[in-house]
C-alpha cells in the first residue's frame, strides 16, 4: 500500500507551483533565534544576586530589599539663603537635621564609650552642613524647593547618603579643594555650603553633565561667589589631573563613575547594565584606579582625599583603593 501512496504524493507535488503562493503567506522557519532581550534593570539584579550574595552572605537579602525600596531624599539647607528660616520650615514638617543630631550624639558620648566609634576629636567633619530627613519608616516627600527672599533656592534635594563623603572630607577654613568628578553638582554645592573653600575646582569630563552642574550653581550660589575666583568649573580628563596640577590641593573628593547600584535597579535610561555598555562596565575598576591616583597626586603632602562610589562592590571600593596605593608606591615611590 505504501508504494502507490508515495507515487500519488509525488504526482501531486509536481502540479503544485510554490512560486505562485503570495509572499505574505510564505513562512520560513528561523533556526537561529536572536538572543532574548532583558531590561537592563533585570540584568543588574541578576548580576547583584550572583556577586553580592557571595560578598555579603546572609546580609544580602536585607540589603537587596533596601536597594529595591523607594529612594529617600534629604533636604540640604542652602546657607546662601535665609538658612535659619528654611531650617524652621523643615522642622515644621517633622524632619530632623541628621548631621547636627549625629554631632550632638558624639559630644554626649562619654570618652570611655564605644571604642570603635569615631569621635569629633579624631574625625573632624566638614562644618556648617545641615541636611534634614524624615524619621526611619517615614517615606514623606519634601515639597519642591522654592526661590527664597535672597534670590537663591532654599534647599537642595539629594540622597542623604551623598552628603557623607563631603562630611568625611573634613574641610577646614581656607582649604583649596578639588571635586574631581563633580557633576551633577550635589556634592559640589555641599562643599561650598561649608564656607571653608578658599578656592574650589569642580571638574567633570562630560560636557552635558557640566551643564547640569552649572544650573545647580546658578540656582543656589550667589553671583559674586559663582563668577568670582572662588569657584572654577572645568571639563578636563580627570585622569590627567596629577600632571596638570600636582601637589596643589588641601582636600580632594574623588566620587568616581561606578555601577550606581540603586539607579541600575530602578532606571532603564542611562543604565550601565545595558548590553551595549558591557565593555564600559568591565573597565570601571581601571578607570577608578586612574582617577584616584590622579586625585592623590593632585593633593599636597599632608592633605586629605576621600574616595567614594554609589556601589557596594568590593571590586570598585576596597580593591581600587588597595590597587591605587600599590600603583603609587611602584611608579612614584609614594607611601
Q: Residue positions in the annotated binding site for S-adenosyl-L-methionine?
A: 181-187, 204, 237, 255
Distance CA 294, CA 238 (A): 7
Residues 6+ apart with CB under 8 A from 155: 75, 76, 77, 78, 81, 86, 90, 132, 142, 145
DSSP, res 227 = S
* CA dihedral of residues 225, 226, 231, 235 (deg, nearest 10): 180
C-alpha cell at 265: 535597579
Decide if 213 contacts 202 (C-beta within 8 A). Answer: yes
Place of cell 591616583: 293
Q: Is position 196 annotated as part of the catalytic site?
A: no
Catalytic residue among 196, 197, 258, 310: 310
- Taking alpha carbons only, the member of 253, 260, 299, 307 closest to residue 280 is 260
Terminal-to-terminal C-alpha distance of the chain: 93
Distance CA 279, CA 266 (A): 21
- Taking alpha carbons only, the member of 26, 25, 300, 307 closest to residue 165 is 307
Give SS3 for 9.
helix
C-alpha cell at 9: 504524493
Place of cell 596629577: 242
- Taking alpha carbons only, the member of 127, 111, 130, 120 closest to residue 174 is 127
Beta bridge partners of 58: none
Rounded (5°) CA angle 37-260-244? 120
Report the catalytic residues.
310
Amino acid at each position: 500500500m505504501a508504494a502507490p501512496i508515495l507515487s500519488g504524493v509525488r504526482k501531486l507535488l509536481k502540479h503544485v507551483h510554490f512560486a505562485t503562493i503570495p509572499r505574505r503567506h510564505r513562512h520560513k522557519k528561523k533556526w537561529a533565534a536572536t538572543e532574548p532581550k532583558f531590561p537592563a534593570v533585570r540584568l543588574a539584579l541578576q548580576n547583584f544576586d550572583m556577586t553580592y550574595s557571595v560578598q555579603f552572605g546572609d546580609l544580602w537579602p536585607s540589603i537587596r530589599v533596601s536597594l529595591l525600596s523607594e529612594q529617600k531624599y534629604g533636604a540640604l539647607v542652602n546657607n546662601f539663603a535665609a538658612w535659619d528660616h528654611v531650617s524652621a520650615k523643615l522642622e515644621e514638617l517633622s524632619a530632623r537635621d541628621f548631621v547636627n543630631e549625629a554631632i550632638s550624639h558624639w559630644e554626649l558620648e562619654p570618652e570611655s564609650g564605644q571604642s570603635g566609634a569615631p569621635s569629633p576629636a579624631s574625625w573632624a567633619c566638614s562644618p556648617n552642613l545641615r541636611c534634614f530627613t524624615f524619621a526611619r519608616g517615614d517615606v514623606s516627600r519634601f515639597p519642591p524647593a522654592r526661590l527664597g527672599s535672597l534670590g537663591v533656592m532654599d534647599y537642595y534635594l539629594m540622597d542623604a547618603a551623598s552628603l557623607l563623603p563631603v562630611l568625611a572630607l573634613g574641610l577646614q577654613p581656607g582649604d583649596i579643594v578639588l571635586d574631581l568628578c563633580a557633576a551633577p553638582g550635589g556634592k559640589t554645592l555641599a562643599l561650598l555650603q561649608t564656607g571653608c573653600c578658599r578656592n574650589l575646582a569642580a571638574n567633570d569630563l562630560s560636557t552635558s553633565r557640566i551643564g547640569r552642574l552649572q544650573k545647580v550653581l546658578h540656582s543656589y550660589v550667589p553671583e559674586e561667589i559663582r563668577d568670582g575666583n572662588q569657584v572654577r568649573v572645568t571639563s578636563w580628563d580627570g585622569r590627567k589631573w596629577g600632571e596638570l596640577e600636582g601637589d596643589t590641593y588641601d582636600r580632594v573628593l574623588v566620587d568616581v563613575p561606578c555601577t550606581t547600584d540603586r539607579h541600575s535597579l530602578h532606571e532603564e535610561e542611562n543604565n550601565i547594565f545595558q548590553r551595549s555598555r558591557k565593555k564600559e562596565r568591565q573597565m570601571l575598576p581601571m578607570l577608578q584606579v586612574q582617577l584616584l591616583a590622579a586625585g592623590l597626586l593632585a593633593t599636597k603632602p599632608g592633605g586629605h582625599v576621600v574616595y567614594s562610589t554609589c556601589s557596594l562592590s568590593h571590586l570598585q571600593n576596597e580593591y581600587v583603593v588597595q590597587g591605587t596605593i600599590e600603583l603609587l608606591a611602584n611608579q612614584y615611590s609614594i607611601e
